Amino acid sequence: MPEGDSVYKAAAKLRAALDQQVLTRTDFRVPAFATLDLSGQTVTSVVPRGKHLLIRVAEGTDTAAVDAAAAPAPAPTPAGDPGSGLTIHSHLKMEGVWQIYGAGERWRKPSYLARGVLSTASKTAVGFELGLLEVVPTASEDSIVGHLGPDLLGPDWDADLALANLLSDPARPVALALLDQRNLAGLGNVFANELSFLRGVRPQTPIGEIADPKRLVALAFKAIMVNKDRPIRNLTGLPRGKPRYWVHGRRGEACLRCGTRIESDQLGTGPTDTRYMWWCPSCQK
């Protein structure tokens, strides 16, 4: 699963390429939206919400191209008006990525992996292997992201609310509680494992039993903030070439703190809620 910092970076890239630009061509390579054409619409904002990317478009913000004298002017639509705009909603899931190309530039991934293509006069954004791509009325965004808890990278971040949400189910393993986007939005498996290590608790520990959960929330915020603008995520702070993660993906390797072999296991209650967990049996009691 992508982490919130990856989605934040993807949104920044898309915003730089598309924001306030008129779409000249769109191509949605998903059956439900294959015939949808949003060319002529203006991108009014690009917003990350947890792990969801929202590209909002609206009619009529660029009317310069239209001969205004030729027809009675329709009622103007304010940019971003949720009453009439549409939202291109994507989720990166496992392999998804948005890439930006200049006009005529060759794509770095095969065309058959492209799910969405959004072109302006000078740039083309291509979404490859997106886990989800749909277009919904902006007014209905709540049906997509309304369930999310406070967003670690959003204007709605609220550490107290996140803490209360996490502790509302005290028996839940700490890693699964952190991964539940209804508690707080933005953490994926990397952060869930690394934060458990950094707090010295096993991912399986019930969240209600850990000491000072408030510090866990503060650490989650700090860890994602310092990584949101880094090109490569790094939780250890070690230089390039050294491990970036304390435990994630390091089964059988030596703990960077104590040398004990890192262990791993699956954790979860079902096919959609099963995750791999890693921990140091000495550092995480």
Task: Please identify every residue annotated as catalytic.
Answer: 2-3, 51, 275
Residue 281, token pair as written in the block = 């049996």
Q: Are 137 and 87 in contact (CB under 8 A)?
A: yes
**Per CB under 5 A, 280 contacts Zn ion:** yes
Shortest CB 246 distance to Zn ion, Å:
8
End-to-end CA distance of the chain: 26
Among 46, 130, 187, 283, binds Zn ion (CB under 5 A): 283
Shortest CB 236 distance to Zn ion, Å:
13
Shortest CB 215 distance to Zn ion, Å:
19
**Per CB under 5 A, 92 contacts Zn ion:** no
Shortest CB 187 distance to Zn ion, Å:
22
Shortest CB 179 distance to Zn ion, Å:
23
**Per CB under 5 A, 39 contacts Zn ion:** no
Instruction: Tell me whether residue 55 or residue 280 sits nearer to Zn ion (CB atom).
Output: 280
Instruction: Tell me whether residue 125 or residue 174 sits nearer to Zn ion (CB atom).
Output: 174
Residue 264, token pair as written in the block = 């791993």
Spatial separation of the C-alpha atoms in residues 186 and 194, rounded to whole Å: 14
Q: Are 163 and 213 in contact (CB under 8 A)?
A: yes
Is 180 in a helix, a strand, or coil? coil
Instruction: Tell me whether residue 152 or residue 262 sits nearer to Zn ion (CB atom).
Output: 262
Spatial separation of the C-alpha atoms in residues 39 and 59, rounded to whole Å: 10
Helix (H) or strand (E) holding 5: helix 4-18
**Shortest CA distance to 25 belongs to which of 136, 127, 120?**
120
Instruction: Tell me whether residue 123 or residue 202 sits nearer to Zn ion (CB atom).
Output: 202
Q: Which residues make Cβ contacts (< 8 Å) with residue 57, sequence separation at least 6?
A: 23, 38, 41, 42, 43, 44, 85, 86, 87, 88
Shortest CB 281 distance to Zn ion, Å:
8
Count of residues near Zn ion by CB under 5 A:
7
Instruction: Tell me whether residue 191 or residue 197 sits nearer to Zn ion (CB atom).
Output: 197
**Per CB under 5 A, 201 contacts Zn ion:** no
**Per CB under 5 A, 109 contacts Zn ion:** no
Helix (H) or strand (E) holding 226: helix 213-227
Instruction: Tell me whether residue 57 or residue 283 sits nearer to Zn ion (CB atom).
Output: 283
Contact string (CB under 5 A) for Zn ion, positions 231-270, x = contact? ------------------------x-xx-x----------
Number of residue whose CB is nearest Zn ion: 255
**Per CB under 5 A, 166 contacts Zn ion:** no
User: Backbone phi, then psi, for 78, in 5-degree steps?
Assistant: -65, 145
**Per CB under 5 A, 66 contacts Zn ion:** no
Q: Are 172 and 213 in contact (CB under 8 A)?
A: no
**Per CB under 5 A, 185 contacts Zn ion:** no
Token pair 């910092």 is found at 5
* Helix and strand element counts for the chain (H, E): 6, 10
**Per CB under 5 A, 222 contacts Zn ion:** no
Provide the binding-site residues for Zn ion, judged by CB under 5 A: 255, 257-258, 260, 280, 282-283
